[in-house]
Structure 1
Amino acid sequence: MYYSFHKKRVKNTPMNTLRTALLSLLLLTLTPVTAQKLLDLYKSGTVKLVADPTYAQGNDWNTVFSTYRDSIRDSHVGARKSLVLLPDNSVIVNNTYRNFYTKFDAQGRFVKQFNLTTTKGKVFKKTEPILGVLDQNMLFCAIDDPGNMYVVNNNGTWLKTLKFTFMDRQIIALPQRKLAVVGWTLNDKETSSLVSLVDYTTNTQKIIWERRKARIFPVMPYYLFSIEEPIVASVGDKLMVVDVKAGEMLLYDLNGKRLGQTPINWRGELISVEAQQAKLRKTMEAIEKFPIDKPRDNYTVEELTSFKSQSLANLQRELDNVRTPIVEPSVATVIKDSDGNLLFFEYPKTKNGNNFHVWVYANGGEFVCESTFVCDDYDLIINPDRMVFKDGYLYSLQNLKNATDIPMRLVRFKLTLP
């Protein structure tokens, strides 16, 4: 069991795991249930995920997911798959570092592999994962390194390219052909996390939330490329920005006007000013001692020397600005269920366990209860890129326990009492 959030442009750090998409959630039976029944189920204390035995039958998983074994420079990347659920309940699976996608029908049966193509049928050589569906019939991809987002139809044919000056952590579709992007950017001094509202028709963008942090350069000890980013969810015709670090949920209209602010009633442990300063000084000491006597990782001695100097200057600037205690993040993932309830998944306290402690907030931000999610047959990976909820089902990519070959499966779960 573990939490996993993969982005090929960033290093996989604990802070990256904070980055989450907010999902629709599990229902009690194979048919939809009411919001009250969902909340009643959460209030029972323990919720069990049970796979639908009729779903995804007849697939040869060793063939369908043969890329599961892919690796790059001794890093296992084949397991970094993600899925998108289309309006007709068919599923698209993204294959990391590959330029093709895998399609399944509404019953989970393998259909085909396909590529993104130009309007003339030419295959794109390099593509990003498909992240979601806009306006029922357009698929939008992640932002690539030059800052392009490709939008295609359901067959993979190019429709439009949107331009950005930042990269993405999370992108969700909103009403009125708009998108919400949790993005990041950097300069020599800082890394910045932001939330931007994007209009598909005009490509206009409005930053409504931003946080900055001192930048540590690559190769240096304690190198962290990311900072604590928020999580976004579509709530009717509104946008919810969940800032776990600050302990608050912010509500915006689709024009970016803030409408309200709801505190999260439970918080992680406070980190004192002294503890923050000690951590920064420890990082600075490690960087000071870092030897630069030869080129390393394709960087010259001159580049490494510059990285070291700038990293120390940035950290000193942050050290000088530490004045108040901060909260130690305790939440790994935030999930939105199909009734608009928010579920905050805690970092697991037991290594290699398969239990997940959850705080439940009802639609509107009122705390309801604590609950625990469990699963017997699969080693759960709580990753919003691998979990999509709709109409009483959880569609997910998970690893089957005790599999003799490739363990990954496309599975459809329901919620039950243990």
Structure 2
Amino acid sequence: MTGRVAEQSYDVGAWAALTRRLSPYLDLAIGLVAAGMSVMSLLGADVAAIDSRLEPADPLSVAASLVAGLSLVWRRSRPAASFAVFVSCCLVVTLTGHYIGLLSVLLLFSLYSLTAHSRRRDGVVGLAVCLLAFIGLAVLDVPDLGTSDVLQACALLVTAWALGDAIRSRRTQQSERLRIAEQEAAAAREQAARAVVEERLRIARELHDVIAHSMSLIAVQAGVGGHVIRSDVVAAERALEIIAETSRKALTQTRWMLGLLRGEDAGDAASPIHRIDDLAGLVRGVREAGIDVAVTIAGPARTLDAAIELTAYRIVQESLTNVLKHSLATQAQVLVTYLPDGVDVEVRDVGGGRPAAAAQVGSGSGHGLLGLRERARLLGGVLEYGALDGTGFRVAAHLPSSMEAAS
């Protein structure tokens, strides 16, 4: 849809721009040709054979015919002035008893130009002036203008006006379509830009979750390794292996997310989108860091929307990261409950509490939990967290089963 809107806007706009560039040269050519042919028609007419009352051409009639033709140069840029000059020159030629000749045909073109390129009211006034002028000339019994000629002229004038009015209406509709197309294209660009910003904010939250969790594991394992490096070489080696594995995973996810932030195509196959099934690997790393984590999956497991499962995974990840960083607890519980309308996720640490120092450090975790609360809200869910009267800390969330269910 956006592509068609942009293409329509470009086609109409390009044609309008081309017409604006060429119209002055085209109108100049029309005016010069009209002036020359009007003078030639006047000078070459056998006035005696047409109507014995007609006067032969003189400087006044030649000048009036020349000016009338040249006035068509401004038929688009100054349509009202061009029409007024043309009609005045025609009256001069006719009222002085000269042969109007080609000017009677060009009058139709002048009226058409006025109606097509000016306001509708101007076209109506121009038509009325022409009709009244022909009727008045017939009453005055000017040469070469009978009753049948007047009726025919009036019919042709109405036709010229109707054609010009149709062209004006069509041009107005095209301008309106162009305006609407430009508005739709601008709205589409704004929506695309907003989507990019929202996606980058989402990726930034993902990046925070990955780095915070990985650095917490690395810090804990580095402390363990440093503590047992002399007394228990095997445990120290295992701590180093966990650090290496965690670092590689974090680096892979960080590179992918930074690639998205730069606008690169990371590929679906390489996208490290976590699901609830991946909690086992997450919990294993936390257990190896010294926290005894009990995981319970309740209800019939099923596949949810990727965004829902990723958010559930991040809630568990952030909660366990906070246990590592800010809690004195050595045990944690993870409960995932599949419900008909979604999934409940609950994480609590058991019996640890949080020291005063952790409250100051907790701004980092607060940022993560606040971000997850906002993410859950955007998905149509809810997230709550808080202390358990000195017995631990609890994070609980309810997420819908799909984005459609949320909307």
Greater relative CO (CA pairs within 8 A, separation 6+): 1
**Short-chain TM bin:** under 0.3
Higher strand fraction (1 or 2): 1
Higher helix fraction (1 or 2): 2
> Could you tell me the TM-score, scaled by structure 1's length?
0.21
> Could you tell me the TM-score, scaled by structure 2's length?
0.21
